[in-house]
Amino acid sequence: MTSVSNHAVEIYIQRVTELSQSVRRIPTSEELEKLAVELGISKEEIEAAQKQSQDNLIRAKSYLSLKHWEDAIAELQEALVFSPSNLEILTSLATAYLGRWYKYHRQEDEQNIRDTIRQCFAIKPDHEESLSLLAILDRAIEQRQRNRSIAGVGLGIVLPV
């Protein structure tokens, strides 16, 4: 790709991200194609970017297997830009957020898991892997709350849940 094309791809990524956030849904293929045409991005460049997306997914899977959640999340977010309706990328991203949630128990990660799973359901409402991830998260949260309550009772204090 030329430097002009690289600049166009950067703008494309920015605009896709803005579009996704503004409408809180995954842009359709038609919307993505229209945006690419507006920016002068060729079909070959889009195909190259989609290949890059698959490369990001491959790297992310390696990071997931090593439990390097931050690296996996970064790779998967990059992969989603050119393949926003790829269920494998989305469920891998939810899995990475779940791994990070287990490590830090941050509300942000819980919300990211739920948002990512919602995106999966928007693509395929009966997506079993997403249902499974949601059930795992809900059980883990419930168990964590029980453990905190038990610890608080044992210490004679009441902890907020």
Is residue 160 included in any domain, yes or no?
no
* Per-residue pLDDT tens over the stretch 127-147: 999 999 999 999 999 999 888
State how far the Cα of 14 lies from the Cα of 81, in Å rounded to an integer.
9
The pTM of the full predicted model, rounded to 2 decimals, is 0.78
**CA neighbours within 13 Å on the CB side: how many for 74?**
6
Is residue 29 included in any domain, yes or no?
yes
Using the predicted structure, report yes or no on whether residue 81 has a pLDDT greater than 90. no
Is residue 86 included in any domain, yes or no?
yes
Is residue 112 included in any domain, yes or no?
yes
Interhelix angle 3-23/69-82, rounded to 10 degrees, is 100
* Per-residue pLDDT tens over the stretch 98-132: 999 999 999 999 999 999 999 999 889 999 999 99
Q: In what helix (H) or strand (E) does residue 120 lie, and over which residues does it extend?
A: helix 107-123
State how far the Cα of 79 lies from the Cα of 116, in Å rounded to an integer.
14
- Domain count for the chain, please give it: 1
Is residue 21 included in any domain, yes or no?
yes
Tell me the residue range of the domain where 127 lies. 3-155
Is residue 87 included in any domain, yes or no?
yes
Is residue 43 included in any domain, yes or no?
yes
130: domain CATH number is 1.25.40.10
Is residue 113 included in any domain, yes or no?
yes
Q: Which residues contact 70 (CB under 8 A, 6 or more apart)?
A: 100
State how far the Cα of 32 lies from the Cα of 118, in Å rounded to an integer.
20
